[in-house]
Structure 1
Amino acid sequence: MKPFYYLSDFPERKNAGQNFVAECPKCGKKHLSISKKTGAFHCFYAGCDFNGKLKDFWEERPYSDSSFTGNTGGNYTGTSKVTRYAGKRNDAACSNSTINGKNTSEVPMIPEDYKKLSPEVFSQIKSLTNDPETNDQDQLAARRYLADQGISLEKAIEAHIGCLTHRCYGKDDEKKATGTQYHCIAYVNYVNGQPVNAKYRSCDPSTVKTTSDGNAIGTENPVCYTKFWSQDSPTTPCAPYNIDCINPLRVSEEHIPRLIVTEGEKDVLTLLETGYPYAISVPNGAASDLAKTFEAFEPWLDQVRDIVICGDRDLPGRTLIKHLTDYFGARGLLTTLPGDCKDISDVLATYGSNVVREIIESAEAQHTSDIITVSERTNEILDALHGEYDHGYDVGYGPLTDHIFHPTDQGGLIITTGKPNSGKTDFLNDLTCRLMAKTGRYVCYLSFEVPDKNKHIAHLIQLMLGKVNTANYTREQLQPIVSFLNTHMVHLDLHEVSPTPTNIIARADRVRRTAPLKYLIIDPYLFMEMETGRYSTETQAIKAMLTQMQAWGRNNNIWVIIVAHPRSLKKQNGKNELEDIDMYTISGSANWANLADFIFSISRIKEQDRSYTRLDMLKVRDQDLCQTGSVLYVRQACGRYDERESEEQIVAETQGKIMAKDQNPWLEQLKEVESGE
């Protein structure tokens, strides 16, 4: 034998897609595969194991190689493993690395780490034959079992299925202490063409078909078989069964379009029988540790485009499906089995190969609400084209306010800002009171600046009545409004937990589950506790909080209104006035402007000849229903804010003129809301 080889040493090589196939210089069989891309070679004739890397592909970098799956320098004996298969993982040895999200200081496994079955073990396994004259009871038992499962003898032989009489154990047996000799089939697993483990399954009949009087019908055709297991595996963890089907040196395609992953070896046989050559099973069924199972074969799996997850329908099987889906992520496609079939092998036995193929071909990605297709929204799209969608609602002030603030029931994030003492909380009291009284919306308050909840609720009643002094009203007269508020609002007063975004949402979610919540008021943001331990800067913490609030609001069709103060405002050049407030003057982060659906500021103007409040709508995300702009309001003594068309109209009112509509109580509107009119 030579110490190393060149590609020119194999002049009679044949093309096999991404590899060459040539005669092995060690065993003389034409089972030597050579990678055109990396120069790695391996003989897949059982018992040979000639492997290495062509010197044409050697790099001028001793002890480091990112493309070779075998040994260095063409050492075909497999004893000197200086080079590891690295791919994504080279130079991982003797250092901390991250594998599937886990830190480890261990060297990752590679396919060459799997030891071969000992000659003593392997020699006990008899290869299945198609000899029609055989009287071997192991052969006959295996053939009968496979035939009943719908597996042809030809396909079983092709898959290297063996047979023998072997001691196996049930799940309740104490291994080595009990166990019984059974006729068994042997699932022999290969890595790089070498047998690395064998799993034995008993295949003796346990029940037979009978007539109604108990007489046997065709005792040669059993309907059930014993199910006892044992295995020989010199390496832990076991390799996935049939993993060699995607060995890069055995695959002609550069990319494998689809690999099917099952729970058991019999399911792999079923898929091979129905025409799917790329099928594997996890080694320990539903109990498999997937990270360890696939660690050595990640470079092999990288060449697979889609992975069809074909698990069992029982609870352990569904658990495995969930774990496989999480492990393979976007590549994972899920199958749907008939309700009367536990696994894909039951489908073959019950319905035949055509149904198996139909199930595999119709495998689909896991449904997620995060991905919206046109087809699933067809009716809603057509409704929108005909104008049949949520056109929003008036908030109760009048046409001027409706032009700049016309919300729908979609929900989202609203930011209110303004200088200190500009009336932000006062205006929100009036706004939310109108939303309750005039539209029937349910409001939840988290008002840090209103410690006395009794006074706050009393003020809302004064707003509804349009009165400053309610002492003259009897309890009976006030009770209808109190009852109305009881069914339209609630307060949060966080004492048991700290006011973090997560805790606020958790409390508001309790309200949502028992009441038709439409508005959550957080006044102000300043008192919220940001989870700074998870984020390095205030900007990151604010972005996370706003994203969390907006997502919760949209998912539940609730508007979250947050009162946020501006940063320290600068004086304007040449003037003794502060700069105007806009979306980007809110303290802490530009993400207030980026993430909000509505942003409005409240300003209080107090001058000698006029006094009013101005609302500036700074941002409107959906401008089909309303736009940015400004509205002026006069604040009544009871706390109501009534819109006005101009400063001139406000100046005229300073002389004591008040519009009649501004004095009307909202009690009638309350009755209308309650009656649904």
Structure 2
Amino acid sequence: MKNFIDFGIDVGGHTTGEHKALCPQCSHTRKKKNLKVLNVNVDKGVWNCWHCSWSGTLKGGEWQKPEVRKVYTKPVFVKVDKKTDELQAWFDTRGISAEVVQRNQITLGKEYFPQVEEERGCVLFPYFRGEEVINIKYRTRDKLFRMASGAERILYGINDINPEVLVWVEGEIDKLSVEMAGLTSCVSVPDGAPAADSKSYSNKFDFLTEKALEAVKLHIIAVDSDEPGVRLQEELVRRLGREKCLIVVWPKDCKDANEVLLTHGVETLADCIANARALPIEGTYSVDDIIESIFNDYEYGPERGVSTSWAEMDDTYRVMTGEWTLVTGIPGHGKSEWLDALALNLSKHYGWNFGIFSPENQPLKYHVEKLTEKIVGKPFSEGFTERMSFKEMGEALKFVNDHFHFMLPDYPTVDGLLDTSQQLVLRHGIRGLIIDPWNEINPARDGNVTETDYISQALTKIRTFARRNQVHVWLVAHPTKLQKDKTSGAYPVPTPYDVSGSAHWRNKADNCITVYRDMVQHGSPVQVHVQKVRKKSNGKVGMVEFDYDHICGRYKPYKKNVLPNTYSMRKVQKEAA
């Protein structure tokens, strides 16, 4: 078997334990060349670099190559200065003037379209950043689309961004239509709106890292009014900040800017944008702000949260964004394990991304290894049962890397965690945030603030964050010390009022859950007690029982033993005698 030197890893003469080392793949490329970014476990013979993701084992070799920053290609674009009659004839049918076409340097060309496996004549929309063409959108007359292969996906119209106000649309033609209405500060998202049921939706917003967007004071969202467009609007508002966004409402007979231009003219299009509605700020709602949602509730029933993916829980607890759930329970009864399993369910079935603050699940690799066991359904380490294969481990680690973002600040505070989570909303579109547990957060309060007032203020901040960003927050808080039952020797099931510090835990939570096990009765199930649900459409007070698989950390519906237990057998025999 190879040793660490064979892989260029210097463990400094250590023969046991876990240590930091220079990464032979990336340390020499960094400004701080002497910073040890490679975690090495000498006992297990494994390593992982948290900078470039290079990982492997002495036994199996590299399982993940160093992460290489993606290198984009830049397409060849030939600028055409002359007016093309054929090109302008097509744009005339869309209400776009020659001046607008020429200003945006749109031209004709030919390109291969894999959809039909042939080269076609098409319109070329160059995507500029400064003087450089970063990408090109190719479009045929019969609506075949493609982007330049290997090029960076950026916003169409970056050079036109004005920091005072910016209009957002869903296609190049809509951007040109807005320009016809006299507004050049307008951008189009590069790939339109993903399908409304797309699981990978939250990962389609890398363009939001564009530097020019940071200075924009007001965003006017003028995307399509169909279902994908509505979801795109919601995600843009969620990430850009609702207090900085206005919403355009199109006439009922039109779904986008170009249809308004063609159907009603330039003045009506300009009026629609000028009359964009402000989103209601918390505490300042009117019926007009929510009338459409009320009509939908009347017609189709109230909005419900998503399923936990445990069908047995659908009647008692569903997960709705914009809410927060208190999770409590006696230490060792499985609160964190159950939450991890729930987060994985939501990631697998709905594509949710998560931010996680879980300092008790340390070191981080231990937490990640437990998550891989839940994903694969096999143990990470060797034992009496079949362990996960090298390939299964790699696939599980990729899933965790794609959907989970771990926060480990040196001095965690509520404000600090929420600030970091806000960045995770913008960059990764997280839908879930787990804070586990509360007592690991430093109480940043002065001597004039009581514990009760501090908890109240902190929970208000968490609730506001959840609602503003449409993120569901799970907050784990331990109960005070409980007294065992003198007869059974078991602890009672904790309630939200048992959580240390304040009744605000129960009063301010949207949902309250207790995870409980009877540790006296061997083989007893895990009980998930739903003790509060604010919205009746999302569940009701009740209890669901699960079997917990200690080997891989999975939860499944509790199945009572077919044969009676020992106590029942003795009772039956005694009665028979």
TM-score under structure 2 normalisation? Answer: 0.46
User: Which has the bigger relative contact order, CA under 8 A and spacing at least 6?
Assistant: 2
Larger Rg: 1
